[in-house]
């Protein structure tokens, strides 16, 4: 199967760095932005990176920090399972993901981390009406059993069946689409035995949003599993190849940056600062100062050296002295 070959290739690329977070964090930030975009939440990468340095709670519904916090929460939810040391696939994990996702954002008053007790709907006017609330516990119990079944169909097929099942139950009052895509990434990582959660599907779903919605609906209305699975497997090939190219680009860029640092005879601290940029391509002088326990002038001098080496540039308009690595941002977010 072409999808499994592409996924295996991606898994191989991900083994090239001793610290997988240098690749994972950028991919997760991109996934957070793309999955949120599917729900109509849009942020600019530079604004989002600045927000990550100093997250703030939005003050009202129209506050632009709502969108940035929603994207930030999604990225936090992506990291939740690794931080919880492998919390098993379960309803408890699904509720924990939802709780993080809805923390302090629009919809946080709609029972975050709790399954719904009221009817909901998809679309206005509703194109699909999920099951009544009284059926949700039994349907979720069935889903959890499916998550725990060993063997069965191809693991990728199984993951996309589980994704559909979750979406059709729509067990929360809000945030179902994003939780469903979080769950999908976890299922693919575990069932395909990846070394880390390398594959994220939201970019493909966002580019093919009408097909994503229509084919999922076709399963419910016509039982068309073949169309849904073919579409998803096509997406695996596209996303695995795209992510492999981005990973290879990041690996090459990381080597290039370290070579530049070596050529100017810089310290070990400066090399560590280069790696930090792959976790967040935006860095303030105060962040570098606090991260490495040096004085403000020393931290500023370090970043000026990286600027001279072409690794970062000064970010105009930031509230304090801030630098941005444009080459990293291009690889992560460029189309």
Q: Dump pLDDT digits (tens) for 97-127.
A: 999 999 988 776 778 999 998 888 776 777 7
Q: Are 38 and 202 in contact (CB under 8 A)?
A: yes
Q: What is the pTM of this model?
A: 0.93
**Whether residue 148 has pLDDT greater than 70:** yes
**Whether residue 251 has pLDDT greater than 80:** yes
**Tokens 């919880």 sit on residue:** 84
Return residue ranges of the chain for CATH 1.10.10.10. 265-333
Which of 174, 206, 23 minimizes the C-alpha distance to 110? 174
Return residue ranges of the chain for CATH 1.10.3290.10. 1-244
Cα–Cα distance between 58 and 75 in angstroms, integer? 17
Q: Are 71 and 41 in contact (CB under 8 A)?
A: yes
Distances (CA, A) of 268 to 274, 275, 313: 10, 11, 21
Torsion sign over Cα 31, 23, 148, 144: negative
CATH of domain 1-244: 1.10.3290.10
Topology given in CATH for the domain delimited by 265-333: Arc Repressor Mutant, subunit A (1.10.10)
pLDDT at residue number 271? 94
Lowest mean pLDDT among 159-173, 263-277, 278-292: 263-277
């Amino acid at each position: 199967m072409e999808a499994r070959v592409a996924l295996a290739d991606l898994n191989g690329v991900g083994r090239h760095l001793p610290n997988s977070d240098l690749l994972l964090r950028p991919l997760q930030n991109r996934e957070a932005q793309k999955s949120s975009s599917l729900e109509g939440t849009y942020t600019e990468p530079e604004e989002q990176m600045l927000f990550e340095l100093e997250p703030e709670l939005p003050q009202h519904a129209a506050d632009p920090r709502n969108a940035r916090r929603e994207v930030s929460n999604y990225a936090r939810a992506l990291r939740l399972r690794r931080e919880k040391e492998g919390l098993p696939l379960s309803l408890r994990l699904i509720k924990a993901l939802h709780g993080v996702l809805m923390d302090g954002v629009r919809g946080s008053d709609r029972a975050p981390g709790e399954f719904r007790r009221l009817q909901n709907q998809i679309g206005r006017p509703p194109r699909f009406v999920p099951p009544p609330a009284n059926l949700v516990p039994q349907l979720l119990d069935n889903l959890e059993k499916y998550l725990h079944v060993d063997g069965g169909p191809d693991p990728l097929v199984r993951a996309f069946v589980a994704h559909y099942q979750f979406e059709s139950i729509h067990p929360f009052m809000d945030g179902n689409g994003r939780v469903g895509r979080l769950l999908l990434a976890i299922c693919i990582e575990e069932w395909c035995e990846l070394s880390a959660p390398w594959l994220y599907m939201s970019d493909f779903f966002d580019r093919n949003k009408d097909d994503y919605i229509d084919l999922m609906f076709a399963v419910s209305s016509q039982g068309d599993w073949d169309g849904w699975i073919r579409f998803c497997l096509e997406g695996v090939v596209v996303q695995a190849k795209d992510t492999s190219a981005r990973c290879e680009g990041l690996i090459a860029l990381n080597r290039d940056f370290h070579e530049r640092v070596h050529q100017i005879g810089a310290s070990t601290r400066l090399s560590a600062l280069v790696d930090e940029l792959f976790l967040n391509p935006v860095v303030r002088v105060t962040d570098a100062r606090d991260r490495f326990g040096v004085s403000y002038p020393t931290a500023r001098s370090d970043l000026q050296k990286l600027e001279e080496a072409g690794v970062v540039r000064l970010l105009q308009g930031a509230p304090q002295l801030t630098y941005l690595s444009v080459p990293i941002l291009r690889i992560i977010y460029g189309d």
